[in-house]
Amino acid sequence: MVSLWIAVLALVIGILMGLYITMPITPFLLKFANYIGLAVLAGLDAIIGGARAGLQGNFDKGIFLSGFFVNMLMAVFLAYVGNRIIGVDLTLAIVVVFGLRIFNNLAVIRRIALDRFLQWYAQRRLASSKTSHSTAQQTQPSQTSDTAFSN
């Protein structure tokens, strides 16, 4: 649970740094902007895949970290090789692949969350019906005690 709060805190700090720290846009940054975008998309895919694995109960830090960095490096490498060596822009293909993976993982996360919510709701209704049923029995007098007093 502590690691979740550390991740949330790091995300907030990163967003605040991105909003308030200005960096001059250089030709170097403009030259590699597509590659940075692909790396961010690949990292987002790994993060959402890690969340899915966590919800399914089979999260592994080593697999997550290796997938995070390898996916980022491989996306950038493929785009670079496609642009510079082959002469084909593979950026769109990489965006489509990671986009499909992200939406697939989000669909699984949504199903897991909905199933857990429905189970929680059913347990809550069952518990409240048991509670209301037992209090209704306690407020009604029993037949045996009535017959004992009437004789």
Structure confidence by residue, pLDDT tens digits, 113-140: 999 999 999 998 888 887 776 665 665 5
Q: What is the pLDDT of residue 115?
A: 93
Sign, Cα dihedral of 78, 83, 87, 89? positive
Alpha carbon 114 to its chain centroid, in Å, reads 13
Sign, Cα dihedral of 104, 105, 108, 109? negative
Q: What is the pLDDT of residue 137?
A: 61
What is the gyration radius of the CA atoms in the chain, in angstroms?
28
Alpha carbons 7 and 59: distance in angstroms, whole number: 15
Domain ranges of the chain: 30-130
Ranking 43-57, 90-104, 130-144 by mean pLDDT, the lowest is 130-144
pTM, 2 dp: 0.68
